[in-house]
Amino acid sequence: MAKIGFIGLGIMGKPMAQNLIKAGYELTVYDIVAERMNDLIKAGARQGTSSKDVASKSEIVITMLPNSPHVREAVLGPGGVLEGAKRGTILIDMSSIAPLASREIAAKAQEQGVAMLDAPVSGGEPKAIAGTLAIMVGGPEETFEQVRDILARMGSYVTRVGDIGSGNIAKLANQIIVALNIAAMSEAMVLATKAGVDPEKVFQAIRGGLAGSAVLDAKMPLALQGNFKPGFRIELHIKDIANALDTAHELGVPVPLSGVVMEILQALRADGKAANDHGGIIQFYEQLAKVQVRP
């Protein structure tokens, strides 16, 4: 089996790496926060000392980092992946970053004989733990076929969308839909609560109809509990919507609803809720309406 390096062991990266270890792959792992490596090392992974070190010991390198600058630094910077990678190495960036950044990094990697895929994910921490993520892949089809089985150990839905950058375009589309779904759910349930109708019963009444969605099923039960422990933090959704707005503006595409939800997210960040789960969007509406959906 291929030797895999995994860089970035946060809320998503750690369980994704754990699933690869469970599948029998030999992993070398690295994170700038050293204690994040502990559980994986106990599970059988080798500890890397830098991104360069991980790449030097791996045939396939996976990065799972917060945003474009972090991926650039880990791949292109001093002590980065490209300093340690051999020709023929495959780099899979599973971070959610700007599509143009993916293309820029891929071009630099190609100059050194390293093939790259952008393969962002959707599903949050629960699906990362279960190994049932949706994985959206951009890059050469031949490279994709080489690593499809590895990706399938982390996700149930693995789809090549197109050339490099396409995976992140698909992820931006996903993040727009998710954010707007949560905002719509929040508006509706705050309205029901203010009107004196039990929001849990409204949820049960509508979830099997056209308004039902994976987002509604995932986020409404948590909102009813007042549980905003992060599966996907508001500050990260701000990053994704910012990338969506930038990309849309570059392409001349109007995205007015994305602009509105961005301001809601920014208001929550200003209110000290940046580390809440994005399901916490409902708190914005609760505050305005002076009502709480949860008991």
Domain 169-289 class, CATH top level: mainly alpha
pLDDT reported for residue 277: 95
For residue 295, pLDDT over 80 is answered with no
pLDDT reported for residue 294: 84
Segment 23-69, tens digit of pLDDT: 999 999 999 999 999 999 999 999 999 999 999 999 999 999 999 99
Q: How many other CB atoms are there within 10 angstroms of residue 6's CB atom?
A: 31
Query: What's the rounded mean pLDDT across residues 118-147?
Result: 96
Contact in structure between 292 and 286 (CB atoms under 8 Å) = yes
Residue 52 CB partners (closer than 8 Å, separation 6+): 79, 80, 81, 83, 84
Q: What is the mean pLDDT of the chain?
A: 97
Domain 3-164 belongs to what topology?
Answer: Rossmann fold (3.40.50)
pLDDT reported for residue 212: 97
For residue 197, pLDDT over 90 is answered with yes
Measure the N-to-C terminal CA separation of the chain; round to a whole number of Å. Answer: 51
Domain definitions of the chain by residue range: 3-164, 169-289
pLDDT reported for residue 50: 98
pLDDT reported for residue 1: 83
- Grouping H, G, I as helix, E, B as strand and the rest as coil, residue 35 is helix
| Rounded Cα distance, 231 and 157, in Å | 19
pLDDT reported for residue 231: 84
pLDDT reported for residue 135: 98
Q: Which residues are catalytic?
A: 171
Segment 210-260, tens digit of pLDDT: 999 999 999 999 999 999 999 889 999 999 999 999 999 999 999 999 999
| Rounded Cα distance, 238 and 252, in Å | 21
Query: What's the rounded mean pLDDT across residues 137-148?
Result: 98
Query: What's the rounded mean pLDDT across residues 170-181?
Result: 97
For residue 173, pLDDT over 80 is answered with yes
Residue 289 main-chain phi, psi, to 5 deg? -85, -10
pLDDT reported for residue 260: 98
Contact in structure between 202 and 189 (CB atoms under 8 Å) = yes
Tell me the whole-structure pTM to 2 decimals.
0.91
